[in-house]
Amino acid sequence: MISLYTNKTEYIADIADELRLFLAKEEITEAENAAADVCVTLEGSGTERHARAQVNTEKGMAVYEWDCVIPQGADALEIKRREKRAVKIAAFRAMANVYGFMPPWGSLTGIRPTRLLRELRMRYGEAEAIRMMQQDFDVSEEKLALAKTINAVQQPILDSQTEKDADIYIGIPFCASRCLYCSFASQVRTKKTDMAAYLAALKKDITLGSAILKQAGRKIRAMYIGGGTPTVLTADELDGLIAHALEAYAGFDGEFTVEAGRPDTITKEKLGVLKKYGVSRLSVNPQTMNDATLELIGRSHKSADIIAAFAMARDMDFDNINMDVIAGLPGEHAADMEHTLD
């Protein structure tokens, strides 16, 4: 067990993510004072911030300090971004000094490295972006090269977008059960769940959102219904929601994705609704094809159900189906991942 203290509690989850890069299965607990295994503080005001991280565990002791500058006139979001970056880097480097190794993606957590690299290039230029990835975030040369390659592949797609393009995300924050690894703000649907009230509010939100985008002259490029697990809705509920969305965004003809997600929530009737409204892409997410792991993480289905759900969707002519898998699930090793991929 590792105790963590910070005087900036709004960043404690981000700091804990840095610690997890070095810890195997140790639990991280929040401490009430600086006499903790890991103490991370942030001081300063105006344009200056000073982060300090001290790690003192059975592995050893180290202190690392990191200064950052807040630009004049920076808004609240930019201040938060720079403060968070400072405490994360300080914590990461102190941990690296104690544990004696550098993760290949450096201190990056909670953001796609390719997105960060692209944003840094746009803001600071190529040379400074590369310097920051290597010297500030400690990304290895190998991983930086990979991120650059992926950026090059993505760039033509990004270049095809215009300022008038918009993507629509419709959220269904409910699931059939809660998976062990999940950190999303979703709830289990029960008999007490007032789904009618939620869907009524969601439809109102869709109507208002479409009016705002229409006034701004935006063109809807793609629509994504995600969760949670959208197929936790009944076929009738799905029908009503999608009909409302397509009415609000009349004329939409782009990629339309529904995150079917868990195979135990997929039925022929629900797939029929999705087909009726022109859904062009489905997600059927196994996470793992190992039944013991599925039970451990709280998913109420077997690997055979995943195959059956996929086959059902194929039989109904869904030709664009993506499937998510997760590496490093509890109790799994390389052989388990090989089995899933096979």
Residues 258 and 286 in one domain: yes
- Cα(322)–Cα(284) distance, integer angstroms: 6
pLDDT value at residue 25? 73
pLDDT value at residue 163? 84
Residues 289 and 198 in one domain: yes
* Domain finish residue from 101, 121, 152: 101
Q: What CATH number is associated with residue 238?
A: 3.80.30.20
To the nearest 5 percent, what fractions of the chain are helix, strand and coil?
Answer: 45, 20, 35
Question: Is residue 288 within 8 Å of 325, Cβ to Cβ?
Answer: yes
Q: Which residues of 258-296 are buried (b: 16+ CB within 10 A; e: fewer)?
A: bbbbbbbbbeeebbebbeeeebbbbbbbbbbbbeebbee
Residues 188 and 171 in one domain: yes
* Domain finish residue from 77, 101, 125: 101
Q: Domains in the chain: how many in total? A: 3
Residues 78 and 93 in one domain: yes
Cα 342 from chain centroid (whole Å)? 26
Closest CA to 4 of 33, 30, 27: 30
Residues 252 and 330 in one domain: yes
- Cα(128)–Cα(207) distance, integer angstroms: 43
Question: Is residue 57 within 8 Å of 23, Cβ to Cβ?
Answer: no
For the chain, list residues with pLDDT below 50: none
Considering the entire predicted model, what is its pTM? Answer: 0.68
Number of DSSP helices (H) and strands (E) in the chain, helices first: 11, 12
pLDDT digits (tens, 9 = 90+) for 224-243: 999 889 999 999 999 999 99
pLDDT value at residue 190? 82
- Cα(85)–Cα(136) distance, integer angstroms: 9
CA dist 19 to 8, 57, 111, 135, 322, Å? Answer: 16, 12, 16, 19, 32
Cβ atoms within 10 Å, residue 112 = 11
Residues 127 and 213 in one domain: no
* Domain finish residue from 119, 144, 160: 160
Residues 143 and 202 in one domain: no
Residues 130 and 189 in one domain: no
Residues 222 and 313 in one domain: yes
Q: Which domain holds residue 63?
A: 1-101
Residues 15 and 77 in one domain: yes
Residues 115 and 206 in one domain: no
Residues 241 and 325 in one domain: yes
pLDDT digits (tens, 9 = 90+) for 28-51: 999 999 999 999 999 999 999 999
